[in-house]
Amino acid sequence: MADYDPMRQFAELAGDVRDPYPMLAGIRAGTPVLEVHLGAGSRADPKAPRVPSLFTVTSHELVQQVLTDSSRFSSAGNPIGQVMGQSILGMDPPEHLRHRALVARAFRARVLDQWSEEIIGPTVSELIDAFALDGQADLVPQLTFPFPIRVIARILGLPEADWPRFLRLSTELIAMMRNWDRALAAARELRGYFAEIIADRRRHPRDDLVSQLIEAEVDGRRLGDDEIYPFLLLLLPAGAETTYRSSGNLLFGLLSDPRQLAAVRADRDLVAAAIEEALRWETPALTIVRTAASEVELGGVRIPAGGLVTVSLGAANRDPGRYARPDDFDVFREDKRHMSFGDGAHKCLGMHLARLEMRVLLTAVLDRLPGLRLDPAVDDVHIHGLLFRSPPNLPVRFDPVLSGAVRPDAVRSGESGLG
């Protein structure tokens, strides 16, 4: 596996599409519920589960209908469950609500505050320390990509020596429809590793998320190992994927408009607004999958029982029926509510953690990289992707600040790095 490149894997998974929004707008204008006929030339792994019929939903109104109506549009049967096991992603109410309540205890406000001070902030700082004196960087491989995987690994209490392994396995899990066998092998490997971690935490509890999941109790009931495994399998790639892409999209939006970047730098009350607008403008994961529980009509289109329904969060977030100038990135936009975390019973459990990570990262970038701007020597900085969207690179220039930055190599050699 010496030639395995996680960054390349993520780039390939995203799909080489610069701007899918004109296509999505055309579909939405023609028919907001489109039956998609999958041809033999599909790039999906032929070993992956076959899809009997597929319908794409693109309007804000109908996307919201699907996500908030679990009786007609079920989360059960999601192919992800065949790799990761039965997690809350593949459950419907009331079973979903019971499991979500157990897991949600681990994401309460007090825990998030603790993570912010002890894990998230220091992780951002150590990454920026590595390039703060250079005056230039590529913020994707040097910051946004490693940041969330380090945070998740630390939250789980995993040894630093294991981080590269988990980064590799996470990308293999996420790319399940591209390489089914590799995803299954990655899931087995992670399950075996987590079995050892869970057994250790049951004997010796620590102040980490695995211990909190083991100890979480609602109505006198705790999670068993078979319920903890899928959640951990799901959490790690989710932490590596969504926050990494969201943070890159946020920085790209601001760097592409120096006026808005300056406004956010001057008024930190705009940080939260910038985060929400970035999530709306460039949704990190464009689709969510549901299954028709029975034959149903949606937007005048008949969907057979068992039909796969993919709701396009990206299209919903740019529906002109909901948003004025939907293709513009505008931190001053009044209505920045969006679908990027889903809706209904399955609204993303980790959304508060994702927002917190984005806020801490953006604040650190604004504080520590004065004069931040896109590198003028690079003329093709862009966001791309059809399944997932983010910039593959963010080359920047900034004014290096000597105080408060120490190179890791200088620490190892006993030098300050400031002379």
94 prior amide bond cis, ω within 30: yes
Strand 395-397 to 73-74 pairing: unpaired
Percent of the chain with pLDDT over 90: 48
* Residue 288: strand pairing partners: 311
| More confidently predicted of 352 and 258 | 258
Over the chain, what is the mean pLDDT?
83
A 10 A CB-CB count for 102 gives 21
pLDDT for the residue numbered 415? 34
When mean pLDDT is compared over 77-86, 107-116, 127-136, the highest value belongs to 127-136
When mean pLDDT is compared over 7-11, 116-120, 228-232, the highest value belongs to 116-120
Q: Write out pLDDT tens, residues 7-21.
A: 565 555 555 788 999
pLDDT for the residue numbered 416? 30
Full set of structural domains in the chain with CATH? 6-14+78-282+346-413 (1.10.630.10)
CA distance 360 to 120: 7
Q: Tell me the average pLDDT across 159-169.
A: 83
Contact 323, 339 (CB under 8 A): no
pLDDT for the residue numbered 109? 74
Q: Write out pLDDT tens, residues 336-376.
A: 899 999 887 667 777 888 999 999 999 999 999 999 999 99
When mean pLDDT is compared over 15-24, 193-202, 267-276, the highest value belongs to 267-276
pLDDT for the residue numbered 190? 86
Q: What is the pTM of this model?
A: 0.86
Contact 276, 327 (CB under 8 A): no
pLDDT for the residue numbered 41? 42
| More confidently predicted of 354 and 89 | 354
Confidence of residue 216 (pLDDT cuts 50, 70, 90): confident
pLDDT for the residue numbered 97? 64
Q: Tell me the average pLDDT across 378-391.
A: 92
Find how far residue 290's CA is from the centre of its chain: 19
From residue 397, give the alpha-carbon distance in Å to each of 7, 135, 145, 370, 394: 22, 6, 18, 9, 10
Q: Tell me the average pLDDT across 250-254.
A: 98
Q: Which of 366, 315, 324 is nearest to 28 (CA)?
A: 315
pLDDT surpassing 70 at residue 52: no
pLDDT surpassing 90 at residue 57: yes
CA distance 198 to 164: 20
CA distance 139 to 124: 12
Q: Tell me the average pLDDT across 30-45.
A: 71
Type of residue at 30: G
pLDDT surpassing 80 at residue 268: yes
Percent of the chain with pLDDT over 70: 78
Contact 308, 51 (CB under 8 A): yes
CA distance 248 to 271: 15
pLDDT surpassing 60 at residue 40: no
Q: Tell me the average pLDDT across 90-109.
A: 66
When mean pLDDT is compared over 154-158, 197-201, 285-289, 362-366, the highest value belongs to 362-366
pLDDT surpassing 60 at residue 387: yes
Confidence of residue 411 (pLDDT cuts 50, 70, 90): very low
User: What does the buried/exposed string (b/e) look like for 56-74 if buried means 16 or more CB atoms within 10 Å of the residue's CB?
Assistant: bbbbbebbbbbbebbebbb
